[in-house]
Amino acid sequence: MNKHRHFIINKPYGFVSQFVYTQKRKKKLLGELHNFPEGTMAIGRLDVNSEGLLLLTTDGKLSAEICSSKVEKEYYVQVDGIIDDKAIEQLQKGVEIGLFGKRYTTTPCIAKILTIPPSFALRSRKIRDERHGPTSWASITLREGKYRQVRKMTAAVGFPTLRLIRVRIGELYLGELGDGEVQEAQDLNKVFN
């Protein structure tokens, strides 16, 4: 029996969380970052504009386990404006967002203001400059992962997301992994079971 392989990557801005993209427009794919073995899949997704921790595996069963609501995912979000306690409280309780043409109320989550902005490398595409007003950072930790959920949540409380970086999945942290860097992980089954 072949041993499954697992990878931890820092997905850069502008990459699709896929290996195959069948749409007409050319997109940057994960396979451009490393020579992954056949059958490697992303565990969950980060949209093209999102960055940060992404796990890859050849083990479909493990992928389903990590995507489940048992595992927390933490995101650092840079938002338009100075986010306040009222908005954080709303996020914590759950907010109503649109999801495929229907209304959906997010489950309660952990949200907090980051008083000291994180020191990530500059993004390949500039976000904007100070002339357009102040920005601030928050941490949002979820156990669910609906389509573009974090972006929709911050917009629902009046602070649209400008930059989104996943920093943690369960007990695995992005840490010092550089933009686009790939690390092979020993056995993610031990981490998530």
Q: Which two tokens stand for residue 129?
A: 């400059």
Measure Cα distances from 53 to 6, 101, 174, 175, 192 in Å. Answer: 13, 29, 5, 9, 15
Q: Please state, in angstroms and rounded to a whole number, the distance separating the CA atoms of residues 36 and 56.
A: 9
Question: Which residues are known catalytic residues?
Answer: 47
Which neighbouring-strand residues pair with 136? 79
